[in-house]
Amino acid sequence: MSRKTKKKVAKRTVVSQPRKARSRPVWALLFFTLAALVAVSVFDYNTEQFNATDPVDPNLVGFFGSWVGFYGFHFLGVAIFLLPLFLLWFGVRLVIQQDHGKRLLTAIVSPLSIICASGLIEWMSPVADAKGSLFEGQISNHFGGVIGELLYARMLEPYIGTFGAFLTLMMGLLIGSILVFTDNLGRFLDYLQNTYRAFLAKRVESKGARSVRKAERAEAKRLAKEEAAQAKAQALAERATAKKDRFKKGKNAEPEVPVDD
């Protein structure tokens, strides 16, 4: 008896995907709400609202708004305007499934980025006074706040100079923003490189198109000149022919004078 051949069963390959932190929609909504409250508090704040029993122009968020506005502008200066943006983005990260550790990294790097921004603002105007400026009714200290003044004027500028402090703060803000707002640094760099290459290609293409349009305009101008010259020559020829015809008609129409014998 012939033995039955067993059917070969294809082995299933198990592909393991990296585990991701699950979505947290409730916490995300809380951060969205907090970002909105902080944004309104900061934009509606003036120095007369803090520690005032009956302020003339109360903050739209009440005591919380005046508290956030005072301490935010006092410690971070104008950089406090970045806080709602980072809070909003952290809420977005809570909604979307993320790799493990990404949310923690965002929570750590976000305040460091805002601190670098406050130091950078202090570098722009280290001795400037808020009086007479756009933020006169909001800033109680320097434009970079207490933290910006401490970071730039006391920790960086005396040791690495103005340019070194600027470069350090700018790189801190740039690297922090990339880590917070992007998921893959290599992919982000590839995106920048591809965008730059596309810009160069469009520039070369537009340059070639401009050259073609310029040549077309020059050719059209030359043809227009030739047509104008031909039309002028034709008009002169027609005028000369008409003049010659009038001369012949006038000569034929002259009466004959009789001659006396």
Q: Are residues 52 and 148 in the same domain?
A: yes
Q: Are residues 145 and 156 in the same domain?
A: yes
Residue 45 lies in a domain: yes
pLDDT of residue 144: 86
Residue 7 lies in a domain: no
Residue 253 lies in a domain: no
Contact 118, 147 (CB under 8 A): yes
Q: Are residues 35 and 148 in the same domain?
A: yes
Contact 41, 63 (CB under 8 A): no
Q: Which of 178, 177, 184, 117 is nearest to 152 (CA)?
A: 117
Q: Measured over all CA atoms, what is the biggest interatomic distance in the chain, rounded to whole angstroms?
A: 158
pLDDT of residue 229: 85
Residue 56 lies in a domain: yes
Count of domains for the chain: 2
Residue 250 lies in a domain: no
Residue 256 lies in a domain: no
pLDDT of residue 139: 78
Q: Are residues 123 and 229 in the same domain?
A: no
pLDDT of residue 48: 83
Tens of pLDDT along the chain (261 residues) come to 456 565 665 566 655 566 777 888 899 999 999 999 999 999 998 888 887 777 778 889 988 998 999 999 989 989 999 999 999 999 999 998 877 788 898 999 999 999 999 999 999 877 666 666 677 777 777 788 889 989 998 999 999 999 999 999 999 999 999 888 887 666 667 777 888 888 888 877 777 777 788 888 888 888 888 888 888 888 888 887 877 777 677 666 555 555 554
Residue 141 lies in a domain: yes
The C-alpha atoms of residue 172 and residue 109 are separated, in whole angstroms, by: 10
Q: Is 99 strand, coil or helix?
A: strand
Q: Are residues 72 and 141 in the same domain?
A: yes
Q: Are residues 70 and 133 in the same domain?
A: yes
Q: Are residues 125 and 207 in the same domain?
A: no
Angle at 192 between CA 112 and CA 31, to 5 degrees: 40
Core vs surface per residue 117-155: b (16+ CB within 10 A) or e: bbbbbbbeebeeebeeeeeeebbebbbbbbbbbbbbbee
Domain that holds residue 175: 22-183
| CB proximity list for 143: less than 8 A, separation 6 or greater | 77, 78, 121, 122, 124, 125, 128, 130, 135
pLDDT of residue 253: 58
pLDDT of residue 128: 60
What number of CA atoms fall less than 13 Å from residue 90's CA on the CB side? 23
Q: Are residues 190 and 176 in the same domain?
A: no
pLDDT of residue 256: 55
Residue 9 lies in a domain: no
pLDDT of residue 125: 77
The C-alpha atoms of residue 194 and residue 205 are separated, in whole angstroms, by: 16
Residue that is written with structure tokens 């960086």 in the block = 156
**Which of 150, 183, 216 delimits the end of a domain?**
183
Contact 96, 24 (CB under 8 A): no
Contact 153, 169 (CB under 8 A): no
Contact 125, 79 (CB under 8 A): no
